[in-house]
Amino acid sequence: MDNLKEWKKQQRQQLIAARESVAEDLHRQWSGAISAFLKQGLAQPQHMTIGIYWPFRGEYDPRPLAAHFLQQGATLALPEVIEKNKPLCFREWLPDMPMKAGAYGIPVPDSSPIVRLDAVIIPMVGFDPQGYRLGYGSGYYDRTLATYERQPLTIGVAFELQRLPNIHPQAHDISMHFVITEAGIFQTREHHLFPALTLQNSGSGSHQQ
């Protein structure tokens, strides 16, 4: 495709605008469905360190699930941009923890321990039927995942209105093991998304719980 960078920029603008324009009650309904699928899929999170995120510009908000996962024995972590064009670090997070303003004004834990992840819930601006994610264009998640010898379980979350026919992935793009929308859980197998019931057993064997 000619001028792929410009095409992705336009797609980001359109998808973020569409997401931000979703009515509050509909956003709440879709988010509730995604939360239910995350609980279903990660039914045994004991002893897992799970990366989540602080929502930005109409994204699904994973924070209401914090109490559930913590009660189940999981450790939660939030990403921090340490330096431009470098991998993210994930810091342990609890809902009552002191926070500070990070990159883009997004709150990050204030000096909590840096942890390594067993699973990570990743926001998506867009996604395609191959399980590839369109992000904000900075490449932070791709660089972070590339630092892991054993890949954490990657769970991309978005609304169905963010589904694209093709995001035209490049060599550095890493497909999600799973995608969750308000329509269900989808597993990436052989470069296609298929309906799934849990967030286990993607077939690669590299990230099974």
pLDDT in tens, 148-185: 999 999 999 999 999 999 999 988 888 999 999 999 99
Q: Look up the pTM and report it.
A: 0.93
* CB 187 within 8 Å of CB 194: yes
Domain 4-196 in this protein, CATH class: alpha beta
Residues 109-134, mean pLDDT to the nearest whole number: 97
